[in-house]
Each structure stands twice: as structure tokens, then as C-alpha cells.
Amino acid sequence: MLVRKVKIVRIAVFASHGGSDLQAIMDGCREKKIRGEVVVVISNNGDSLALKRAEKEGIDRFHISEETEGGKEALTERLLSVLDAYRPDMIFLAGYMKLLDPRILERYRDRVFNIHPALLPKYGGRGMYDMKVHTAVLEAGEKETGVTIHRVNAVYDSGEIIAQAKVPVLPGDTPESLRERVLEREHLFLVEILSEIADGKIRLGETAL
């Protein structure tokens, strides 16, 4: 009897701080909710909890930044070198605060995704992250907010939107309470969408390797 081998999608995760989205992805892979595997974690912050989470899971991890590499050009070369070594099928930016160089985006065209805690195109762009987003949503008097997953291009939060999940803004919400509720939905949502990517329901582009 011929047994068909199921492809496991190789995921590289970039993260800058707490890594709660990274944890959700690692848990989703371990629990077989995502037909994938986190093969490498990269952070521009040597003190990030994301690196500690990866270490705990036994996943290879790297602190790579302009400071560690001595400039933007060297940073890009180092990132490309690491990615070439691990050959991910896709890159997921889980709270990564830096723009990727166009050479990386070209090599992994339509294979780089980001998650944002608002319903883009609202409340996106440079400097709009975490509490700044939730504060802006409340100050604008919005009745709903949510989570957006989009492909990454060379401009912050402007790539093709592939999925969104709505979260209501409740009377009496503070930025902190709204953040907590959005983050709870975010963790579930990214597992749902990564599962669809791994299963081929959401297409991946061709790598330029």
C-alpha cells in the first residue's frame, strides 16, 4: 500500500518582545492544529522573551540586529544566511518591529506574513503597535476592532490582507482590557489562518531560492 507523505510546512518566526504569538504558533504545531513546524526563531532583541520561549521548546534561535551585525547591509546578509540554512516555506512576523529588506521580501515573495492588532487599513503604519493601537481605537470611538493577518511588503502594514477577525469594543473598555481581549482572539486566529496556509487553502508564492 502506497502511503502518501504529508508535507510539513517549515515556519521561520521573527519576534521582538514577549513572543506570545510565537508561543501560540509553537503550541498549534505541537498539538497538530497546524501542519507545520517552527524551524527557527529570530529576534532583533537579545533580551526578548521570544528567544527564551524558543529555547524552552528546543528550537534554534538567533539574536540578529543592526547592532550585532554592524549595520543594515550586514544585517540583511546575516538574515539571508540564516534563512538559507533553515529553508523555511514561510516567514511569520509575530510582533517583529523592523521592516525587512526588499531582498528578503523578494526571495520569499508572498511567503512573509504579519499579524496586526486592528482592522487594517485602520490604525496601521509606522509606530502603530500594541497599546498605541488600542488607545487610538478607543480615542476614535470605534465600536469594533480586531486582528488582521496580511502579506508583508516594503511599507508597514500595507500588504495584501488575507484574513481579519472582529472584536467588539465594549462600554468601559480601557486600552489594557481591549488589548487583553484582542490578544486572546489573536492567538486563536493566527492558528486558524496558519492552518489554512499549511493546508494550501491560502496560497504561498514561489521562493526565489
The answer regarding whether domain 9-198 maps to CATH 3.40.50.170 reads yes
Residue 206: which pLDDT band, with cuts at 50, 70 and 90? low
Write the pLDDT tens digit of every residue in 110-152.
999 999 999 999 999 999 999 999 999 999 999 999 999 999 9
Rounded mean pLDDT of 178-186? Answer: 97
Question: What's the pLDDT score for residue 208?
Answer: 47
Model pTM score: 0.93
User: Structural domain boundaries of the chain?
Assistant: 9-198
Residue 174: which pLDDT band, with cuts at 50, 70 and 90? very high
pLDDT at 85 over 90: yes
Question: DSSP class of residue 71?
Answer: S
pLDDT at 71 over 60: yes
Burial of 143 (0-12, 13-18, 19+ CB in 10 A): exposed
Can you read off the three cell numbers belonging to residue 183? 490578544
Return the amino acid letter for 81. S
pLDDT at 209 over 50: no
Residue 7: which pLDDT band, with cuts at 50, 70 and 90? confident
The answer to whether residues 93 and 19 touch, using CB atoms and an 8 Å cutoff, is: no
Among 17, 116, 134, 150, which one carries the catalytic annotation? 116
Question: DSSP class of residue 92?
Answer: E
116 assigned to active site: yes
pLDDT at 94 over 60: yes
Question: What's the pLDDT score for residue 27?
Answer: 98
